[in-house]
Amino acid sequence: MDKVVIVTGGSRGIGAATSKLLARQGYAVCINYRQSQQPALALVDEINRSGDEAFAFQADVSNEQQVHAMFEEVNRRYGVVSHLVNNAGRLFTQSCLADISAERFNQIMQTNVLSCFLCCKAFINQTGTKRAIVNVSSAASRTGAPFEYVDYAASKGAMDSLTKGLSLELAADNIRVNGVRPGFIHTDMHADGGEPNRVERLAENIPLKRGGTPEEVAESIAWLLSEQASYVTGSFIDIAGGR
Ligand code: NAP
């Protein structure tokens, strides 16, 4: 198949909106999830019923063996993975840095950064034509998320550095690597931070006076993956309502 994409953490939120949009644009989509099997299968069903191509694959993308198994399965079904969206990510309860344990810090780094590294590595090491990677970072990499999630912000800063460095390593091979930095987006992630209505609470401080939607983030991801962005690499799109 010509356009084959893995969307990590594709079962919910931004990943689900991205999977849907890319399937509509003609990509064969591997929707990766860690534990949300039901939403992942429902999304595959919805995409397949529209006549587009997708399947779900369970893998913890911070585990190298599971990442390899996922790439092997996609290669077997569709051929080389030509595009990659590193979207899987998480955060924990809002706290000051002094209250964050070393164990939590490591977990955040593994889920948000190691996963991105492992998937980029598996992607590059395939034989065949690879075209583009988009890493889903966060506005937190710029703000530092003080008193909330400095660990999460630091993980997104690391993703930005990885994006920049890898874009330069792969530019001569015409493989583009870019990032998006969403701001406050309406998804379930904020409930994991202990405040489901966080976006509503902070909306007044956002220049555009509202939170964003997963679909608005998906549009930028899809553009960066596409040939319309053929001269864009090592770049970041801030999707944060002006923040
Ligand atoms: P979400 O609704 O909580 O979805 C997170 C997704 O990541 C789920 O599909 C989850 O799968 C998956 N995931 C987590 N750990 C994983 C692992 N180890 N292996 C595979 N999948 C894993 O979050 P979201 O808001 O859509 O966030 C998506 C990305 O955008 C994240 O990287 C996040 O940091 C970033 N972002 C979000 C916002 C925002 O305001 N929402 C702002 C800036 C950046 P399971 O459900 O199966 O665990």
Residues noted as catalytic = 152
Q: Is ligand 1 within 6 A of the CB of residue 127?
A: no
Tell me the C-alpha distance between 71 and 124, whole Å.
11
CATH of the domain at 148: 3.40.50.720
pLDDT of 211? 97
pLDDT of 193? 80
Compute, in angstroms, the gap from residue 39 CA to the centroid of ligand 1. 13
Q: Is ligand 1 within 6 A of the CB of residue 185?
A: yes
Determine the residue of 90, 93, 137, 200 to mutate for testing ligand 1's pocket, defined as the one with the most ligand atoms within 8 A of the Cβ atom: 90
**Vertex 180, ends 106 and 239: CA angle to 5°?**
115
pLDDT above 90: residue 104: yes
**204-234 per-position pLDDT tens digit:** 999 999 999 999 999 999 999 999 999 999 9
Q: How far is C-alpha 214 from the geometric centre of its chain's CA atoms?
A: 11
**116-158 per-position pLDDT tens digit:** 999 999 999 999 999 999 999 999 999 999 999 999 999 999 9
pLDDT of 90? 96
**1-48 per-position pLDDT tens digit:** 899 999 999 999 999 999 999 999 999 999 999 999 999 999 999 999
Are 120 and 170 in contact by the 8 Å Cβ rule? The answer is no
Give the nearest ligand 1 atom to 62 CA: 18
Compute, in angstroms, the gap from residue 215 CA to the centroid of ligand 1. 14
Number of domains in the chain: 1
Are 43 and 16 in contact by the 8 Å Cβ rule? The answer is yes
Q: Is ligand 1 within 6 A of the CB of residue 111?
A: yes
**49-58 per-position pLDDT tens digit:** 999 999 999 9
**Token pair in block for residue 33:** 């999830």
pLDDT of 84? 99
DSSP-derived letter for residue 179 is E
- The string over 122-153, giving b where at least 16 C-beta atoms fall within 10 Å of a residue's C-beta and e elsewhere, is bbbeeeeebbbbbbbbbbbbbebbeebbbbbb
pLDDT above 90: residue 241: yes
pLDDT of 194? 86
Give the nearest ligand 1 atom to 152 CA: 34
Q: Is ligand 1 within 6 A of the CB of residue 32?
A: yes
Full domain range(s) for residue 148: 4-239
Are 149 and 94 in contact by the 8 Å Cβ rule? The answer is yes
